Amino acid sequence: MEASRTRTVFVGAIVVFLFAALLSRLWFLQVVEGPELSQEARAQGVRVVFTDAPRGRILDRNGHVLVDNRIARAVTVDRDIYRDLTGTERNELMARLSEVLGVRKSRLERRMNSDQYDRLRPVPVADDVSEADAIRISEHLEDFPGVEIDLVPVRTYPYGETAAHVLGYAAEISDDELAARASAGYHQGDLIGKTGVEAAYEVDLRGERGEVPLLVDADGRVIGQVGEEVPSSAGSDVYLTLDIDIQRTAEAQLAEQMELAHSTCVDRDACPGPLYNAPVGCVVVLDAHTGDVVAMASNPTYDPAVFVDGISGEELEALNNEENHYPLFNYCTQGEYAPGSVWKPITALAGLRAGVINLGDTIPDPTGCFVYGNNDDRYCNYGRQGYGRANLYQALVKSVNVFFYQVGAWLWAETAPDVDEMIQQVAREFGFDQPTGIELSERDGRVPDQAWLTEAHELYPDAFPNDTWLGGYTVHLAIGQSELLVTPLQLARAYAGIATGDTLPVPHLGGEITAPGDPTDVRREIQPEPGHVQIDPAQHDLIMSALRGVVANSGSGDGFTGTAFTVFDGQFPLAQYPVAGKTGTAQRTGHQSTSLFAGVLPADGTEYVVVSVVEEGGTGGTTAAPIVRDVMRVMIGEDPPPPDPVEAAEAAEGATGPGAIDVGEGTGTAPADTTTTTVPVATTVADTPSGRRIPSRRRDGGCDAGAAPPQPRPTGRPRHARYPRRARGGSP
């Protein structure tokens, strides 16, 4: 032990000092700063990940899925990593992405620099890439710094363009919408319904996004979950009043007849000559009592899927283009037309109510033209044909203008001031000049009167130099011309009022809101309270019989052949289904005539109003009436609807797969059937004593429980027995 005592103590002291230093530092870190550092440890390991909630589905009344969700691959770029790249690296990255994805580099960069995306999340530069592209990227992730493939739900449209205007589309929320709805829990990057049902039922369709607090390791790998997960809740399913079969029929018939019009001469006597342009048209099928919109077709149409992966300016331009006749426009609710002769029942009701005519009154019409006032204005019948004398029935059947001119003139001439505007008054009672209340964006139309003229004169003195209403205006208004404008849906609604004699329904597309995937869990039923109209029963009977005469009166007795007689004669079982209707041929300055037809199909103890309007389609009987007739033929089961593309696809799949659904075995998937021979739907209806409005919604799941055994439908039973009414007097 040569070492001196001092040195031993010295070395020992160093050792003790070092250990003491460690211990005190340990105490400081763990006991003094421990709680704070502990908090930090918890915070840095936890990432809150948001889980997107799928939007609710949209289904037709029979449970056919019209809008669904599908998982798409989105390519995202991490903001932080991107920011840290040099200019050249960014360029290279974008060039590589552009090459792989086949998207222009400038578009990728625009999205990268856009501030419309959530600042805390990676930027989605491409929304729906193919699996092959996704694999190409993920195999070479080292070439794509910051790039990831995310799975996101996107909208799919199994029926493609069908009902596009009704369904509308959902797209990423804009900054303005976000600002307006910040309190509703929307976030950047969320989908929001922009138009149509998607917008109208946004509240129901939208799901609540969930939050999952995840433990993330230093490399960002997810290790596990910490704390409570807030589950995402999928949006509700929205069942529409639409019947996809009738919808497809309406669209197909509309397109077919428009096509036909394109090869029809405007002047039959000067053929070949100018043909009809028929650029746009529309068909509405409305349940007169409930306001259920069974079909609503607008042409031209578009594919809502173009909005799924972000529409390009070019594509949007094409959809908003005058040359393409604005395909985004829903002509059923946004198109405004002079109704022409379709208007005449309103004039008739006004005349009857004002007392200027009575049932059975006849009005002379020797020349086919009507001379009004001091001016030598001549108002003539179609084809300037004179009919001698005509009563109201005959005037409606043959659409005698002179009769209604006279009614208009009398209304204006009556000294009692409160009948001057009787036509306008009745028109408003039947829902014109105001929104119908449907969930879609719509126009009000216009019923001109003194008040309107005064305002128009003030606003546009050049176009309306005269600010005093003249009798000639009322005379013109009487046959649905003048400055009168109506939407096809308003027409359908008014005809529902005429057909029922008391109910003015509120047209609606929404049927039921149910829990996602569970049709039995109804969260909300949509049944807007209808308005009412007043028609004297005798007047109602006469007008309805006259409208039936329009399609059924051969004219062999009295010479008043119905204007739509040739359209329906021999082509529709009128004895079984006494259809009523009215043609309209509206003149439009600088354009060919607008073709209109409003029909009423009594079936099922209810009435369906079918209205068709085709711009520049000639007379009502030329284009519009055949469309209505053919849609009605499908509705009563006379014709099959066009083949269902979804079922065709399923059948093709089922033919190869073992678990194919066999409709023939009556498993309750009957609504899938599109033929008219053995449809068990009608019997399923009978099984729902509660009178559910949408009876056969068993397409997905729940088929076994209480499904009715398939029974052959009694021959001749109307196809649309699938729309039974709620307990309404006299229903079958």
Partner 1 sequence: VTRLDVRPLQPIRIKTKHHRAPTRHVDLGLVVSVIALAIFGAVMQYSATRQRLESQGVDPAFYLKRQLVFIVIGIGAMAAAAFVDYRRLHDHAALLYGAAILGLLAVLSPLGSTRNGAQAWFDLGPFQLQPSEFAKLAVIVGLAAFCHEHKGDLDAWRLGLAIGISVVVLGLLYIQPDLGTAMILTVVTVLVLVMAGARLRHLVVLTVLSVASLVVAYQSGVLADYQVDRLTSFADQSADISGEGFHVEQSKIAIGAGELDGRGLFNGLQTSLSYVPEQHTDFVFTVVAEEFGFIGAAGLLGVLGFVVFRMWRAAQTAKETFGSLLCVGVMAMFVFQIFQNVGMTMGIVPITGIPLPFLSHGGSSTIMAFAAVGLVVNVHARRFT
Binding site for partner 1 (CB under 8 A): 1-4, 7-8, 10-12, 14-15, 18-19, 21-23, 25-27, 29-31, 33-38, 40-42, 44-45, 215-219, 221, 223
Of 10 and 460, the one with the shorter C-beta distance to partner 1 is 10
Q: Residue 55's closest CA among 191, 151, 158?
A: 191
Closer to partner 1 by Cβ: residue 2 or 704? 2
635 phi, psi to nearest 5 deg: -65, -35
Nearer CB in complex with partner 1: 17/460: 17
Shortest distance (Å) from residue 135 CB to partner 1: 21
Q: Which is nearer to partner 1, 43 or 463 (CB)?
A: 43
CA–CA–CA angle 300, 305, 311 (5° rounding)? 90
Closer residue to partner 1, CB minimum distance, 138 or 688: 138
State in Å, rounded, how far the first CA of the chain is from the last one: 120
User: At its nearest, how many Å lie between partner 1 and the CB of residue 148?
Assistant: 18
Minimum distance of partner 1 from residue 146's CB (angstroms): 16
Scanning the structure block, which residue is given the tokens 């400055």? Answer: 483
373-381 LR contacts (CB < 8 Å, sep 24+): 373/471, 373/472, 375/472, 377/472, 379/405, 379/475, 379/476, 379/479
Q: How far is the CB of 225 from partner 1 (least distance, A)?
A: 13
Q: Evaluate whether 66 touches 163 at the Cβ level (below 8 Å).
A: yes
| Nearer to partner 1 among residue 5 and residue 119 (C-beta) | 5
Tokens of 127: 């929304």
State in angstroms the smallest separation of the CB of 210 from partner 1.
23
Do 147 and 132 form a contact (C-beta atoms < 8 A)? Answer: no
CB of 76 to partner 1, least distance (A): 22
Give the distance from CA 300 to its chain's centroid.
14
Q: Of 22 and 660, which CB lies nearer to partner 1 in the complex structure? A: 22
DSSP three-state, residue 395: helix
Nearest approach, Cβ of 217 to partner 1 (angstroms)? 4
Nearer to partner 1, 217 or 687 (CB): 217
**26 or 538: CB nearest partner 1:** 26
Inter-axis angle of helices 537-552 and 344-354, to 10 degrees?
150
Closest CB 41 distance from partner 1, rounded Å: 4
Q: Minimum distance between the CB of residue 224 and partner 1, rounded to whole angstroms?
A: 9
Contacts of 423 (CB under 8 A, 6+ apart): 346, 347, 350, 408, 411, 474, 477, 478
CA distance linking residue 204 with residue 198, whole number of Å: 9
Which two structure tokens, joined as six digits, stand for 22? 């460690």
Q: What is the helix, strand, coil percentage profile of the chain, to 5?
A: 40, 20, 40
Q: Which of these, 492, 485, 443, lies nearest to 594 by C-alpha position?
A: 485
Nearer to partner 1, 20 or 686 (CB): 20
Per-residue burial over 343-359, b = 16 or more CB atoms within 10 Å of its CB, e = otherwise: bbbbbbbbbbbbebbee
Q: What gap in Å lies between CA 193 and CA 191, rounded to an integer?
A: 7
Q: How far apart are CA 152 and CA 190, in angstroms?
A: 11
CB of 231 to partner 1, least distance (A): 24
- Report whether the peptide linkage leading into residue 272 is cis, meaning its omega lies within 30 degrees of zero: yes
Classify burial at 211, counting beta carbons within 10 Å of its beta carbon; exposed 0-12, middle 13-18, buried 19 or more: middle
Nearer to partner 1, 81 or 255 (CB): 81
User: In 3D, which of 567, 627, 642, 632 has the Cα closest to residue 253?
Assistant: 627
Task: For the CB of residue 85, give the shortest distance to partner 1 in the complex, in Å.
Answer: 16
The minimum distance between CB 296 and partner 1, in angstroms, equals 54
C-beta closer to partner 1: residue 7 or 104:
7
